[in-house]
Amino acid sequence: MLVVDDEDDIRELLDMTLSRMGLDADCAANVAEARLLLSENTYQLCLTDMRLPDGDGLELVRFIGEQCRDLPVAVITAHGSMENAVSALKAGAFDYVPKPVSLEQLRALVKSVLNLPRQDVAQNEAASGALLGESQAIRQARAMIEKVARSQAPVYIGGESGSGKELAARLIHGQGARRDQAFIPVNCGAIPENLMESEFFGYKKGAFTGADADRGGFFQAAHGGTLFLDEVADLPLTMQVKLLRAIQEKRVRKVGAATEDPVDVRIISATHQNLKELVAAGRFRQDLFYRLDVIELKMPSLRECREDIPLLAESILARLALDSALPMPRLTAGALKALGEYPFPGNVRELENILERTLALSGGTEVSADDLHLASLVASGEDASSASSGGEASLQDHLDRVEKQAIMEALQKTRFNRTAAAKLLGVTFRSLRYRMERLGLNE
């Protein structure tokens, strides 16, 4: 280990702590000494203060990122200086430790670093992962996933509905230091607002009616692992404030508790909405946005990687056939051509839906373009567009009919499971509930 700090007592404390963990440490008092040691030795972790006599920790983070790419570097930041911590993470730091240094947190950080998979193992896992495709957009996404997996920095995943944001989050978790710990996915739009605090942070016995025992929340369940906040844009502002504090302090307070508990989680968030626009509109807190969007990963739409459609279709069809205990039919050249020309507004999720329906209805050894029924999907979209421009009914009436039909079809496909129907439609549970109430579908 390499420890860089200009205070003798801090260096001694860190050296002693690492020694008790069975680890050797070299110590440097400034950037120049650190660079010299880095040129002469190989380390598993560099731990550096942000303020140094001849420079700052960010300078060292950038230097290591350029010269020692496989070396994780963590920074020690002044208490309450989250801006410095976020800047370090954006510059490529693995993690940060606030002052005064918590030895418990330091030990957890070191264990995370020691648990990092070797670079060759991470590359093999990335190559064999479920993010299939050889298009430029997919290769860039895979490379970014591999890079951020070796960090502890919060990751924000953007992209259209159905583009594979949760898959990307699972790959980041599975290729990182926390891969043996829990991955807890949370759909922020599916939790009633009055239950959010207790669901995220847990509660103490007697905190409210029905709380007959202590219970942990999502943060406690993800302790040591990864918490994936899907559709994070749907969090109400009051919950955004509490989430911000939990991320900054790495501590949470159960509902009804007098004290806070430390939590060690990596945050990955995602939404199909534009968070920057929501911040500008005052619907999402800017300070929380900067905490979540330390590293941004954009998942490409299926339209951006059309050359991958044949590979994806074959893979999905093989899995669906195996799950259904059915022989796998062959996609004809005409079927592959039709899939390649279809716009896929629902991305990979829609491709899977089309193939699942086709497999259930075809029953043959081949799937032709006609078996996919893509023409009817395109026609329904065109009819909706043309009908809205004419006729006696108002535009809103027509849109309501189209929306009603889409919701009813999704409910029927999911046996009226609203959560599953919302996912199928690419909207949040709360949004679906509101739309059903507006359209009178709750009877």
SS3 for the chain, per residue? CEEECCCHHHHHHHHHHHHHCCCCCEEECCHHHHHHHHHHCCCCCEEEECEECCEEHHHHHHHHHHHCCCCCEEEEECCCCHHHHHHHHHHCCCEEEECCCCHHHHHHHHHHHHCCCCHHHHHHHHHCCCCCCCCHHHHHHHHHHHHHHCCCCCEEEECCCCCCHHHHHHHHHHCCCCCCCCEEEEEHHHCCHHHHHHHHHCECCCCCCCCCCCECCHHHHCCCCEEEEECHHHCCHHHHHHHHHHHHHCEECCECCCCCEECCCEEEEEECCCHHHHHHCCCCCHHHHHHHCCEEEECCCHHHHHHHHHHHHHHHHHHHHHHCCCCCCEECHHHHHHHHHCCCCCHHHHHHHHHHHHHHHHCCCEECHHHHCHHHHHHHHHHHHHHCCCCCCCHHHHHHHHHHHHHHHHHHHCCCCHHHHHHHHCCCHHHHHHHHHHCCCCC
Give the range among 63-67, 228-232, 416-420 with minimum mean pLDDT: 416-420
Domains and CATH numbers, the chain: 2-114 (3.40.50.2300), 119-298 (3.40.50.300), 303-372 (1.10.8.60), 374-443 (1.10.10)
pLDDT tier for residue 377 given thresholds of 50, 70 and 90: low
Among the residue ranges 7-16, 143-152, 283-292, 403-412, the one predicted with the least confidence is 403-412
Across residues 325-354, what is the average pLDDT?
Answer: 91
Asked if pLDDT for residue 387 goes beyond 50, the answer is: no
pLDDT > 70? residue 225:
yes
Residue 172: pLDDT over 70: yes
pLDDT average, residue stretch 322-327: 86
pLDDT attached to residue 260 = 92
Mean per-residue pLDDT of the chain: 87
C-alpha–C-alpha distance, residues 76 and 70, integer Å: 20
Query: Would you say residue 128 has pLDDT above 50?
Result: no
Average pLDDT on 252-269 reads 93
pLDDT tier, 156 (very low <50, low <70, confident <90, very high otherwise): very high
At residue 325, the pLDDT reads 84
The pLDDT confidence band at residue 443, using thresholds 50, 70 and 90, is: low
Q: Is the pLDDT of residue 383 over 80?
A: no
* 197 vs 325, more confident: 197
pTM, 2 dp: 0.76
Spatial separation of the C-alpha atoms in residues 309 and 132, rounded to whole Å: 10
Least confident of 236-245, 375-384, 414-423: 375-384
Mean pLDDT of 288-303: 93
Is the per-residue pLDDT at 375 higher than 90? Answer: no
Tokens representing 107?
A: 């030990």
Compute the distance between CA of residue 369 and CA of residue 59 in angstroms, rounded to an integer. 57
**Which of the two residues, 12 and 394, has the higher pLDDT score?**
12
- Distance (Å, whole) CA 300 – CA 114: 33
Can you give the pLDDT at residue 396? 62
pLDDT at residue 380 tops 60: no
Q: What integer pLDDT is reported at residue 388 of this predicted model?
A: 43
Considering just the CA atoms, what is the radius of gyration of the chain in Å?
Answer: 25
